[in-house]
A and B are shown apart, each in its own frame.
Chain A
Amino acid sequence: MTEVENLSIAIVGSGGAGALTSGNLLLEAATAAGWYGLLTRTVGPQIRGGEAAALIRLASRPVECLADRFDLLIGIDWLNANRFGAEIEVGPHSLVISDPRGGDLPDFVKNSGARVVEIPMKEMAKSILEGRPNMIALGIVAKLVGLNQEVFTALIEKRLAEKGQVASQGSRLALQAGVAAAAAVQFDRRLAPAVAGKKRWLVSGNETTGFGAIRGGVRFAAAYPITPASEILEWLAPRLAKVGGVLLQAEDELASINMIIGASFGGTPALTATSGPGLSLMIEALGLATAAEIPIVVVDVMRGGPSTGIPTKSEQADLNIAIYGFHGDAPHLVLAPQSVGDCLFTTQWATYLAEALQAPAIVLSDQFLGQTVAAIERPADVAFIGERIRHTGSEAPYQRYALAANGISPMAIPGMRGAQYTAEGLTHSERGTPTSGAAEHRLQLDKRRDKLEQFTFGDHWATLEGTGDVAVVTWGSLTGAAREAIELAGRDGIAVRLVAPRLLLPVQNARFTAALDGVKRLLVVEQSHSGQFYRYLRAHYDLPGETRVLHRPGPFPIRPSEIHQAIAEWRS
């Protein structure tokens, strides 16, 4: 028996088999037992009836990405399970639990060299009133990873109470049957005890994003449903009301972006959340927010693109539109959270920055961050609360777009006497009067550029870790995988730096250059087909030494071993 720092488990089943329910209960129970971990779901776009897999990683310390390989794969059944072949890597080190009546083993299992143990989950479930195979599967996993059965019993009571006494009794008995069936199964790994004592949360990135918005001061959200961003809006709807805010469902994304501009014009910090197709529709009005200097926050939970793409899966390919999508010269803010926990900080900071700079901020989250449920250490409290500089009434006549030294002109809020002005998307004078004059055009372009460039963003602009003359430069949700890869490289004796900008726009030239001082090899890691992040880096920064790019499109996140391998190969 080996004690390991983390264990990866996949539970697979056809629609309705309950694989996701088992996965959620497993993570929740492991969390209650003190461990860390995360769960990502992989499903098709269909509402019901498709295959589903719960991919779970349990760990004795916080983890931010899936592992490279799965230790344990449970097939409640194998109908269409082949489609998960590329996502669930099993090999000779893996144990596969299969129901002999669950259909043929998929090829990716058959050819993997994994040890397969058959347990008749369906048949066992049939002998239990209201017993279901997914609960048998859960019992098997519980036993194999060494989770206390009592934790589950309490959870089942809590989660299945509304289904009635018989159902929860059935689930409990099925779980016990699974535990008993697994007693004879050899499994040589046990999860090491967790580092105790830290306050932890069980939460998804979409939830932490919502919370970050509220913490940052957002009190109005406009919502148009879109996968995989809807949970942010659904989380916000009832909670905004509790903190004195409001959410309005819009008729489309053109409306939602304009609604938040209207609310912000009225003095209320405002946000909307969407994904690529919605962001595309919002771009025109984002330009309006830039020109009219209205603070707003737009969260883009990126999915596979272009067009409808892969709504349920992750990609980092909206970087170009977020940075370059606006017509005209339109300085704005682009930020990217780096973990489930960091979605809180980054959204809160984005709200603060948008308000401070009276500019739109785009937050590039992605499906992986948004929909992954993770047990994380409670993020530290930060003091960033969005508050714009308001016109105090001292200077008269009021000029909304006055050329302030730092480019940030005090904003009057409707209701304030004597400061009436018209917010303007046309090129305008300091007062806001439309003009097509070259001088005023230039002055206002300068103003909007300068206010972003002169602002001191501080150390939050990037995650910088480690030393050495090799650097991994990455962003967003791949930061966790890069960090793990760097740790693996460290075990090989290779010192690697991590440089992951959280603030993508405005670019931070001096800081970036300093972060890469002395670097001889630079590995860019990103999840896009065309290498958008690499091209962005090339456009804005001087990259020292030799550069290589590890990039591929979604939907499967780049794993730590791929990055580790790229580092190791380059070295040798």
Chain B
Amino acid sequence: MEELIVTPDTQLACKPSDYRSDLKPVWCPGCGDYHVLMAFTRAFAQLAVPAEQIAVISGIGCSSRIPAYTNCYGFHGVHGRSLALASGLKVTRPDLTVVVASGDGDGYSIGGNHFLHACRRNIDMTYVVMDNRVYGMTKGQPSPTTEPDFDTAISPGGTGLSPFHPLVNALASGANFIARCFAGEPNETAAILVEAIRHPGFSFVEILSPCVTYRPDQKQWKDLVHPAPVAATNDPAKAARRIMTDDGFNIGILYRGERRPYQPKFQPQSLDPSVLEQEFEI
């Protein structure tokens, strides 16, 4: 990460470093997730939301270690359930900025059902999936986004299965904002995260985040990625066509929906609970 140059933004009242904890990440040198962390702190600084007003929620996996590396409130929960945990938090604490961090195994495999329902529910939060198409923490097994011919110990010769398409699923399930980023471009990623967090409802940001250890082939990603040629659409049909036909390296905001976020009324206190017993009285 040292060789990466981040443009300092002196106009910001908050510095990215305000949002970074003093913990040293467990990630391998060169892991894309370092850049995602950098994008997080830059985005938070640009939003100028106080760190204590942000909650970063995650599950299990390399990417899910990110909460403790920020200086925000965090929750490193169980595998695959970060969206559910974050949903319970956000509906009861609508004042907080809730960002959920996940990976392709945590988010699309064990947590797949929650992904669909979080999109459908459209609670105002941002879901960031660091996709490296492999289970890194458990040492190299295929994930739902792994290519069918990727040879691993658990699936010799490859899985033979078509990869899961997260963006199409997000759109079909009702996500209100869909973007694809590349970890190697933290400034661009930060800018997209700012928009994702600002956008009302459920924002889904897929970040291509290379795994240097188990997917050294992903070093090529920096040459394959390219900015999305046209601006984001608010038309789900157009977005579907674009997302389904692009090459998977199309970077940018691809869809901005206009669905109303789900936020049940949550008023700290109203009726005295003892009134409720009247209905039991004979």
Nearest chain A residue, comparing its CB with the CB of B56: A422
Answer yes or no: A270 CB below 8 A from chain B CBs.
yes
The reply to whether B264 and A414 form a contact with Cβ atoms under 8 Å apart is no
Contacts of B280 in A (CB 8 A): 201-203, 207-208, 211, 378
CA–CA, A433 and B95, complex, Å: 26
Q: Which B residues touch A515, using CB under 8 A?
A: none
B59-91 vs A, CB cutoff 8 Å, 1 = contact: the mask equals: 000000001100111111110111111111111
Q: Give the residues in chain A near B272, CB-CB below 8 Å.
A: 243
The answer to whether residues A242 and B281 also contact, given A414-B73, A418-B52 and a CB cut-off of 8 A, is no
Q: How far is the CA of A275 from the CA of B96 in the complex (A)?
A: 32
- Is there contact, CB below 8 Å, between B276 and A261? no
Please count the residue pairs between chain A and chain B whose beta carbons lie under 8 angstroms apart in the complex: 183
Q: Which residues of B contact A246 (CB under 8 A)?
A: 91-92, 264-266
Contact B68 A433 (CB under 8 A): yes
Cβ-defined contact, A270 with B88, below 8 A: yes
Interface string of A242-284 (1 = CB under 8 A from B): 1111101011101111111111111110100000000000001
A519 to B209 CA separation, bound complex (whole angstroms): 68
The answer to the question of B11 belonging to the interface, with a C-beta cut-off of 8 Å to chain A, is: no
Asked if B223 is at the interface of the complex by the 8 Å CB criterion, the answer is no
B84 touching A423, Cβ below 8 Å: no
Are B273 and A31 in contact, CB atoms less than 8 angstroms apart? no
Given contacts A244-B269, A244-B270, A254-B84, contact A263 B91 (CB under 8 A): yes
The A interface is mostly helix, strand or loop, or mixed, namely: mixed
Tell whether B51 is near chain A: CB-to-CB under 8 Å. yes
- Distance between Cα atoms of A201 and B75 in the complex (Å): 43
A267→B116 CA distance, assembly (Å): 27
**What residue of chain A has the Cβ atom nearest to residue B266's Cβ?**
A246
Residues of chain B within 8 A of A421, CB atoms compared: 73-74
The reply to whether B77 and A261 contact each other, CB–CB distance below 8 Å, is yes
Q: Which residues of A contact B88 (CB under 8 A)?
A: 220, 222, 248, 258-264, 266, 270
What distance in Å separates the Cβ of A474 from its nearest Cβ neighbour in chain B? 27
Q: Collect the chain A residues with CB atoms within 8 Å of residue B230's CB.
A: none
By a CB distance below 8 angstroms, the chain B residues around A422 are 56, 67-68, 73-76
**Which one of B68, B75, B83 lies within 8 Å of A434 (CB-CB)?**
B68
Output the residue of A241, A256, A418, A423 with the most chain B CB within 10 A.
A423
Instruction: Collect the chain A residues with CB atoms within 8 Å of residue B50's CB.
Output: 417
Does B84 contact A258, Cβ atoms closer than 8 Å?
yes
Question: Which of B57, B78, B92, B95 has a CB less than 8 Å from the CB of A263?
Answer: B92
Residue on A nearest B111 in the bound complex, by CB:
A254
The residue from A262, A285, A424, A434 contacting B89, defined by CB atoms under 8 A apart: A262
* Residue B93, interface by CB 8 Å: yes
Question: Inside 8 A of A375's CB, which chain B residues have their CB?
Answer: 282
Q: In the bound complex, what is the Cα–Cα distance between A211 and B281 (angstroms)?
A: 13
CB-CB contacts below 8 Å: B251-280 with A: 264-273, 276-277, 280
Interface of B is mostly: mixed
Evaluate contact between A420 and B71: CB separation under 8 angstroms: yes
Instruction: Select from chain B the residue with minimum beta-carbon distance to A414.
Output: B73
Report how far A263 CA is from B86 CA in the complex, Å.
8
A262 touches B87 (CB 8 A): yes
A259 to B88, CA, bound (A): 4
Contacts of A423 in B (CB 8 A): 74-77
State the Cβ distance, A550 to closest chain B Cβ, in Å.
33
Say which residue of A248, A412, A432 sits within 8 Å of B91 (CB atoms): A248
Give residues of chain B (25-61) contacting chain A, Cβ–Cβ below 8 Å: 50-53, 55-57
Given contacts A239-B276, A258-B84, A375-B282, contact A415 B117 (CB under 8 A): no
A215-B273, A244-B270, A251-B117 in contact; A262/B68 too (CB < 8 A)? Answer: no
Alpha-carbon separation in the docked complex, A287 to B60 (Å): 15
Give per-residue flags for B95-131: 1 if the beta carbon is below 8 A from chain A beta carbons, else 0.
Answer: 1100000000000000001101100000000000000
> Is there contact, CB below 8 Å, between B92 and A242?
no
* A267 shortest CB reach to chain B, Å: 7
CB of A34 to closest CB in B, whole Å = 9
Select A243's contact among B92, B271, B282, beta carbons within 8 Å: B271
Complex contact B84–A259 (CB within 8 A)? yes
Within 8 A of B (CB), among A188-224: 199-203, 207-208, 211, 214-215, 219-220, 222
A100 in the interface (beta carbon within 8 A)? no
| Chain B residue nearest in CB terms to A204 | B280
Q: Is the CB of A255 within 8 A of B273?
A: no
- The answer to the question of B153 belonging to the interface, with a C-beta cut-off of 8 Å to chain A, is no
B47 to chain A, nearest CB (A): 16
Is the beta-carbon distance between B282 and A255 smaller than 8 angstroms? no
The answer to whether A285 touches B78 (Cβ under 8 A) is yes
User: For residue A285, which residues in chain B have a CB less than 8 angstroms away from its CB?
Assistant: 77-78, 81
User: Which chain A residues border B93 with CB–CB below 8 Å?
Assistant: 266-268, 414-415
Residue-by-residue, is A1-38 near B (CB-CB < 8 Å gives 1, otherwise 0)? 00000000000000000000000000000011000000
B4 at the A interface (CB under 8 A): no
B114 — which chain A residues lie within 8 A by C-beta?
A: 251, 254-255
Residues A242 and B73 in contact, CB atoms below 8 Å apart: no
Q: Is the CB of B53 within 8 A of A415?
A: yes
The answer to whether B85 and A261 touch across the interface, beta carbons within 8 angstroms, is yes
Whether A523 is near chain B, meaning CB under 8 Å from some CB there, is no
Given A252-B113, A259-B85, are A415 and B95 neighbors across the interface (CB < 8 Å)? Answer: yes
Please measure, in the bound complex, the distance between the C-alpha atom of A203 and the C-alpha atom of B53, giving whole angstroms: 42
- Kindly list chain A residues whose C-beta atoms are within 8 Å of the C-beta of B71: 420
CB distance from A241 to the nearest CB of B (A): 7
B56 CB contacts on chain A under 8 angstroms = 422
- Cβ contacts B210-244/A at 8 Å (1 or 0 each): 00000000000000000000000000000000000
Contact partners of B265 in chain A: CB under 8 A = 241, 246
In the complex, are the beta carbons of B51 and A420 less than 8 A apart? yes
Is A258 a contact of B77 with CB atoms below 8 Å? Answer: yes
Whether the Cβ atoms of A32 and B282 lie closer than 8 Å is yes
B269 near A211 (CB under 8 angstroms)? no
B154 within 8 A of A: no
A258 interface neighbour in B23, B81, B268, Cβ under 8 Å: B81
In angstroms, Cα B277 to Cα A242, docked, is 13
Q: A439 on the interface (CB 8 Å rule)? A: no
Select A415's contact among B52, B83, B85, B266, beta carbons within 8 Å.
Answer: B52
Q: A202 to B52, Cβ gap below 8 A?
A: no
Contact: B276 with A220, CB < 8 Å? no
- Please tell me if the beta carbons of A254 and B81 are within 8 angstroms of each other in the complex: yes
Q: How far, in Å, is A178 (CB) from chain B's closest CB?
A: 24
A292 contacts the other chain (CB 8 A): yes
Shortest distance in angstroms between A483's beta carbon and chain B's nearest beta carbon?
Answer: 23
CA distance A239 to B275 in the complex (A): 10
State the Cβ distance, B66 to closest chain A Cβ, in Å. 10
Chain A contacts to B: CB under 8 angstroms: 31-32, 199-203, 207-208, 211, 214-215, 219-220, 222, 239, 241-246, 248, 250-252, 254-268, 270, 284-285, 287-288, 292, 375, 378, 412, 414-426, 432-434
4 A-B pairs with least C-beta separation = A262-B88, A259-B88, A422-B74, A255-B84
24 contacts between A and B (CB under 8 A): A201-B282, A222-B88, A244-B268, A248-B87, A248-B88, A248-B91, A254-B84, A255-B117, A258-B78, A258-B85, A262-B84, A262-B86, A263-B88, A268-B93, A270-B88, A292-B77, A375-B282, A414-B89, A415-B96, A421-B74, A422-B56, A424-B68, A432-B68, A434-B68
